Amino acid sequence: MRRKLPQPISRRSVVGALATLPALWAEARAGDARLPAQLFHRDPPPPASAAEVLDVMSFEPLARAALPPAHFGYLATGVDDDRTVARNHDAFAHYEIRSRRFADLDRLDTSCTVFGVRWPSPLYLSAVSGMRAFHPEGEAAVARAARTRATQLMLSTGSSVAPEEVAGARAAPLWQQLYPTDDWRVTEAVVRRAEGAGSTAIALTVDGAAEPRVNETLKRAMLSDNRQCGACHMNNQHDMWRKAPMFAGLDVSGVTRLRPASLTPEYLDRLRRLVRGRLVIKGVVTGEDATLALEHGADALVVSNHGGRNEETLRATIDCLPEVVAAVRGRIPVLIDGGFRRGTDVFKALALGATAAGIGRPQAWGLAAFGQAGVEAVVDILNRELGVIMRQAGTATIADITAARVMRAAG
């Protein structure tokens, strides 16, 4: 028996089908007083995989659901009222993008070059400590995601996975974030171990002078967690130098804090002599400090306020960026982190003079929700959104994203 082939859809058949809708609608609503929005509503199913997550911010509630309260609180906390945390992202709304309509967009190129290395996009994974608190594989899973996406990884001194293992998972040079402690012998040992693991840059964190931090959100989260911290933290101690693999085998008996009580130009000179590769200064938010860091050997700067975790200044990093860029005058790269949640955020930072943008909390959200695949999805979403806004703005390359492409919002 010959199978009857389906007939092509014609305009007449579509119009005829539409004509039946009122009758079907009346039948569906018979005896039901609900409005259409109620009648046909269903709660959207939760994402079953990282690929189903629509945007970066949607990973945050998934991470909250996947983590114990104290661990999510550690990730979310800022200082005092957490207003600097919020301001970091909200401040991107202060800047509007000026789109040009006449441009050759046949080929879009999101690549950039940092320290002579070509990156596929101006995005990197910034340092986040203790990531096994968010997923059993911790920084190793993040490193594998960085490998599959050819994305630079900055590893925290407080990594919960040894630097050698992370470097092996990344299969490319790391950048090592540095908490130098207040014991120079430990500083030397940490730098040498990082360099031995293949790190080509040491990123000294210079914020966080105040101790202890007033992390109220974290403390509230700990009170709502019914687990005992001592089950995971030996003797209930949270000091990084007592538990992070980076410090394994070192004599840390003289360490009392993660950084010297005073960071001086002389300290920068001393560290510059110690570091064999690139020296990055992370945490600069003023033009004066940018100039000083440059004069004392910095190879790059990161405009950062530690994601609002260390200080309640209410200055968003995107608002700090222009004065740092002006002080540097193109002599060294200026990177930035803090509050990046959209590709448009990255675009605005590039237009204001940043070389690249780092993401912190979002990679941890992705990790907590879906492991390596979650981190990969976060990177993919941001890169995809960056490509979209580049086309919308008429910028075919990263070099086309200049200060003329953004303007300060009125009011």
**Contact predicate 115/199, CB 8 Å:** no
Q: What is the pLDDT of residue 219?
A: 87
Mean pLDDT of 356-383: 98
20 pLDDT more than 70: no
Structural domain includes residue 28: no
Binned at pLDDT 50, 70 and 90, residue 13 comes out as low
- Residue 120, preceding bond cis, omega within 30 degrees? no
Distance CA 201, CA 344 (A): 28
What is the value of pTM for the model shown? 0.90
The angle subtended at Cα 397 by Cα 394 and Cα 401, nearest 5°, is: 65
Higher pLDDT, 237 or 266: 266
Q: Would 27 be classed as within a structural domain? A: no
Q: How many separate domains does the chain show? A: 1
Model confidence at 5: pLDDT above 60: no
66 within domain boundaries: yes
Round to whole Å and give the CA distance between 334 and 357: 9
Question: Using one digit for the tens of pLDDT, what is the confidence trace for 46-93?
Answer: 999 999 999 999 999 999 999 999 999 999 999 999 999 999 999 999
Mean pLDDT of the chain: 92
Which structural domain, as residue segments, surrounds residue 222? Answer: 54-408
What's the rounded mean pLDDT across residues 117-125? 98
3-state class (DSSP) for residue 142: helix
- Domain-located, residue 331: yes
CATH number of the structural domain spanning residue 375: 3.20.20.70
Element (DSSP H or E) covering residue 154: strand 152-155
The C-alpha atoms of residue 202 and residue 275 are separated, in whole angstroms, by 7
Q: Is residue 3 part of a domain?
A: no
Residue 232 has pLDDT above 80, yes or no: no
pLDDT, mean of residues 215-244: 81
Separation of CA 228 from chain center? 30
* H helix or E strand, kind and range, residue 359: strand 356-359
- On the 0-12 / 13-18 / 19+ scale of CB atoms within 10 A, 118 is exposed
pLDDT at 320 over 70: yes
pLDDT of res. 1: 47
Least confident of 14-18, 144-148, 345-349: 14-18
Contact 122, 110 (CB under 8 A): yes
Query: Does residue 235 register a pLDDT over 60?
Result: no
Give the dihedral of Cα atoms 152, 154, 160, 164; nearest 10 deg: 70
**What pLDDT sits at residue 103?**
95
Please indicate, yes or no, if residue 341 is contained in any of the structural domains. yes
Q: How far apart are CA 368 and CA 156, in angstroms?
A: 17
Sign of the four-CA dihedral 77, 83, 84, 88:
positive
Q: Provide the CA 318 distance to its chain's centre, in angstroms.
A: 14
Check if the beta carbon of residue 146 is closer than 8 Å to that of residue 125: yes
Quick check: is 259 in a domain? yes
Average pLDDT over every residue of 140-158 = 98
Which one has a higher pLDDT value, 25 or 200?
200
**Which residues carry out catalysis?**
306
User: Does residue 65 form part of some domain?
Assistant: yes
